[in-house]
A and B are shown apart, each in its own frame.
Chain A
Amino acid sequence: MLAQQLVNGVLLGATYSLFALGFTLMFGVLRVINLTYGFYFSAGAFVALWLTKQMGLGIWLALPLGAVAAGVVAVAIDWLLLTRLRWRPTAELDSLMVTLGGVLALYSVMTAWLGPDIRRLPPGLISADALVWGGLRVTMAQLLILGATIVLVSALLALMRFTRLGLAIRAMAEKPDAAGLMGINTARTSALVSFLSGCLAGAGGVLIGLNFNAIQPYMGESMMLRGFVVIIVGGLGDIRGALIAGLALGVIEVLTAGYVASGLKEAVSFAILVAVLWTRPQGLFGRAVVRRA
Chain B
Amino acid sequence: MAGELEIAGLEISYGKTEAVCGINISVPAGNTVCLIGANGAGKTSTMRAISGLLKPRAGRIVLDGADITGMAPHLVAARGLLQVPEGRQIFAELTVAENLALGAWLVDDAAEIARRRDGVLQRFPRLRERLGQLAGLMSGGEQQMLALGRALMGEPKLLLLDEPSMGLAPLFVDEIFAIIETLKREGTTILLVEQNASAALEVADFAYVLENGRIVLEGPAAEVAGDPKVIAAYLGG
B-facing mask of A203-245, CB < 8 A → 1, else 0? 0000000000000000000000000000000000000000000
Selecting from B98-106, B122-130, B189-197, the interface stretch reads: B98-106
A25 to chain B, nearest CB (A): 15
Interface segment among A33-41, A73-81, A134-142, A183-191: the answer is: A183-191
> What chain B residues lie within 8 Å of A183 (beta carbons)?
74, 77-78, 105-106, 154
CB distance from B93 to the nearest CB of A (A): 5
Residues A181 and B93 in contact in the complex (CB < 8 Å), given A167-B102, A168-B105: no
Given contacts A170-B94, A183-B77, A185-B74, contact A178 B101 (CB under 8 A): no
Q: Is the CB of A186 within 8 A of B98?
A: no
Q: How far is the CB of A281 from chain B (nearest CB, A)?
A: 19
Report the nearest B residue to A178, measured CB to CB: B89
- For chain B, the count of residues having a C-beta within 8 Å of the partner chain is 25
List A contacts of B105 (CB < 8 A). 168, 182-184
Contacting pair A181 B91 (CB below 8 A):
no
In the docked arrangement, what's the CA distance between A205 and B160, Å? 48
B53 at the interface (CB under 8 A from A): yes
Per the CB 8 Å criterion, the residue count for chain A at the interface is 20
Given A168-B105, A180-B73, A181-B51 in contact, is the A174-B83 Cβ separation under 8 Å? Answer: no
The residue of chain A having its C-beta at the shortest distance from the C-beta of B136 within the complex is A174
Q: Which B148-168 residues sit within 8 Å CB-CB of chain A? A: 150, 154
Q: How far is the CB of B123 from chain A (nearest CB, A)?
A: 19
B85 surroundings in chain A (CB, below 8 A): 177-178, 181
Instruction: Find chain A residues with CB under 8 A from B90 CB.
Output: 178
Tell me whether A181 and B101 are in contact (CB under 8 A). no
B199 within 8 A of A: no
Scan residues 159-178 of chain A and give those whose CB is less than 8 A from a CB of chain B.
Answer: 167-168, 170-171, 174-175, 177-178
Q: Which residues of B contact A168 (CB under 8 A)?
A: 102, 105
CA distance A179 to B89 in the complex (A): 9
B90 vs chain A, min Cβ distance (A): 8
A291 B93 Cβ-Cβ under 8 A: yes
Q: Is the CB of B72 within 8 A of A177?
A: no
Contact A174 B53, beta carbon cutoff 8 Å: no
Cα distance A289–B89 in the bound complex, in angstroms? 16
Hey, which chain B residues are within 8 Å of A292, CB to CB?
Answer: 93
- Nearest chain A CB to B234 CB, angstrom units: 28
B233 proximal to A (CB < 8 A)? no
Task: Decide yes or no: A181 and B94 within 8 Å by CB, A167-B102, A187-B72 being known contacts.
Answer: no
Most-contacted residue by chain A among B78, B94, B102 (CB, 10 A) = B102
The answer to whether B77 and A182 have CB atoms under 8 Å apart is yes
How far does the alpha carbon of A204 sit from the alpha carbon of B85 in the complex, in Å? 41
Question: Considering the chains assembled together, what is the distance between the CA atoms of A292 and B92 in angstroms?
Answer: 12
From B72, B77, B101, A167 is in contact (CB under 8 Å) with B101
Contacts of A187 in B (CB 8 A): 72
Docked-complex contact A181 and B98, CB < 8 angstroms: no
Q: Give Cα A179 to B103, complex, Å.
A: 9
Name B160's closest neighbour in chain A (CB-CB): A181
Q: Tell whether B52 is near chain A: CB-to-CB under 8 Å.
A: yes
If the complex has contacts A167-B98, A171-B102, A180-B53, are A186 and B93 also in contact, measured as CB distance less than 8 A? no
Residue ID in chain A nearest B154 by CB atoms: A183
Is B82 an interface residue when CB atoms closer than 8 A count as contact? yes
Q: Could you give 12 example pairs across A and B, Cβ below 8 Å?
A: A168-B102, A170-B93, A179-B102, A181-B53, A182-B103, A182-B106, A182-B154, A183-B105, A184-B74, A185-B74, A186-B73, A291-B93
Assuming A171-B98, A174-B94, A183-B154, what are 18 further A-B pairs, CB within 8 angstroms?
A: A167-B98, A168-B102, A170-B91, A170-B93, A170-B94, A174-B91, A177-B85, A178-B85, A180-B52, A180-B72, A180-B73, A181-B83, A183-B105, A184-B74, A184-B102, A186-B74, A290-B93, A292-B93
Which 3 A-B pairs rank lowest in CB-CB distance, beginning with the nearest? A180-B73, A183-B77, A178-B89
